Amino acid sequence: MKTTLKTWCAAALLGSAAVAALAHGYTAGALKIGHPWARATVAGQATGGAYLKLENTGSTPDRLLGGSTPAAERVELHSMSMEGNVMRMREVPAIDIPAGQTVELKPGQFHLMLVGLKAPLAADAKIPLTLKFEKAGEVKVEVKVESMVPGSAASGGGHQH
């Protein structure tokens, strides 16, 4: 399992440059949530990554604590970092959003991991996602599914999720 997740994230990283910027956004108190999107998945893929931008326009810090969606059994917060030549992904309890700063969840960095997908995420679909913040509380957003970048799936090899 560990290996396949790593492979998947490496593939996600390669495709990041091609993401179209069809922006949609949300505001919750001092928080601005920009363009939530997820990568389309193939049949049999058990996890999918979701990404968005968090801008804290206020003077107090907030934290993203987690989320939930009817599209998956659970939503985890993940970080990624390079350790030697290997990209490692691990679950984190929260993502800090310091006052006056913008934190971007994007491929190869912090992301939301939809674990236990109930159906493949189809390109152009919109899936509801409830985000949970320490201060801003629960915020409902719509996640737009972006299509796989042609060729990027091949670099992941045989997915065995």
Interface residues toward Cu ion, by CB under 5 A: 78, 89, 113
> Are the CB atoms for 145 and 121 separated by under 8 Å?
yes
Q: At its nearest, how many Å lie between Cu ion and the CB of residue 70?
A: 20
Q: What size, in residues, is the chain?
A: 161
Tell me the longest C-alpha to C-alpha distance in the chain.
47
| Residue among 72 and 89 whose Cβ is closer to Cu ion | 89
Shortest-Cβ-distance residue relative to Cu ion: 78
Q: Measured from the CB atom, is 60 or 160 closer to Cu ion?
A: 160
Looking at beta carbons only, is 44 or 137 nearer to Cu ion?
44
What are the residues facing 105 on neighbouring strands?
52
- Of the candidates 109, 115, 105, the one whose C-alpha atom is nearest the C-alpha of residue 141 is 105
Least distance to Cu ion from the beta carbon of 73, Å?
15
The nearest distance, CB 66 to Cu ion, in angstroms, is 14
Comparing CA positions, the residue from 96, 98, 80 lying closest to residue 88 is 80
Q: Which is nearer to Cu ion, 97 or 105 (CB)?
A: 105
